[in-house]
Each structure stands twice: as C-alpha cells, then as structure tokens.
Amino acid sequence: MPGFFTALSSLSALFENLEGGSNAEEFVQWFPEGTIQQLRAVLEQVDCRVEYDKLAIHQAIAGLS
C-alpha cells in the first residue's frame, strides 16, 4: 500500500470515516496526502484479504464436521 495509506493511523482513520458514513471523495479531501487511486488500491486489497479470510474460515469449519 503506497504512500499515505501505509501508516497504521491513516488506515484506522480511513475505516473509522467510512464506517461513520463518509465517502471516499470526502476522505481524500480531508487527507490530501492520499489520492483516490491509493484509496481504491487499499480498498481492493482489503476486499481481497477479506475474501481470503472468509475462505479460510469456511474451510476450517468444514474440517470440524
């Protein structure tokens, strides 16, 4: 994750704002060190990771049966 979004506090701020109802454009306006392209890349990586984690959880559950 390049640039501004590599800082843990930046990621925390991103998710807190999105959960609070802000949109991506607002976030980039508030934190101009980041770009909309960086924000998109971060969210795509998170989406991929969540899908991977869901698959691992489903496999673990299936192994318990």
d(CA 24, CA 56): 29
Ordered by start, the domain boundaries in the chain are: 3-64
| Tens-place pLDDT, residues 14-44 | 888 888 999 888 988 888 777 888 888 888 8
Would you tell me how many other CB atoms lie within 10 Å of the CB of residue 56? 10
pLDDT digits (tens, 9 = 90+) for 44-56: 888 888 887 888 8
Question: Rounded distance, CA 65 to CA 50, Å?
Answer: 23
Q: What is the pLDDT of residue 3?
A: 56
